[in-house]
Amino acid sequence: MVRMFVRHGVEDYEAWRKVYDEFEPERGPMGVTDHRVFQAVEDSNDVTVWHDFDSIEKARALALSDKLRNTMQRAGVRSAPDVWLVTQS
């Protein structure tokens, strides 16, 4: 299992969340097996999400996809995402 963490700032959490939820039908076919969303305590527009994958290849494919990039732009992501991949040890 590979877990991808993504942290970024968004213009408006509610607007971002609507677009994030609309992307749900795309996540499974792109290899996501589970995911969660978190907001910073002090700034609700500071968002961290994690997505689980069966392989590093699927995680990287999602991270590099134009579909995801376009969705993030439409959702109002205002800062470059900080992305890291981990495996459980």
Burial of residue 4, with CB atoms counted within 10 A of its CB: 0-12 exposed, 13-18 middle, 19 or more buried: buried
Residue 89: predicted pLDDT: 84
- CATH number assigned to the domain comprising residue 78: 3.30.70.100
Q: Do the beta carbons of residue 25 and residue 53 sit within 8 Å? A: no
Give the chain's domain count: 1
Q: Give the span between the Cα atoms of 52 and 14, in whole angstroms.
A: 23
Q: Confidence band (pLDDT; 50, 70, 90) for 88?
A: confident
pLDDT digits (tens, 9 = 90+) for 9-43: 999 999 999 999 999 999 999 999 999 999 999 99
Domain enclosing residue 50, as ranges? 2-87
Residue 79: predicted pLDDT: 85
Burial of residue 24, with CB atoms counted within 10 A of its CB: 0-12 exposed, 13-18 middle, 19 or more buried: exposed
Q: pTM score, two decimals? A: 0.90
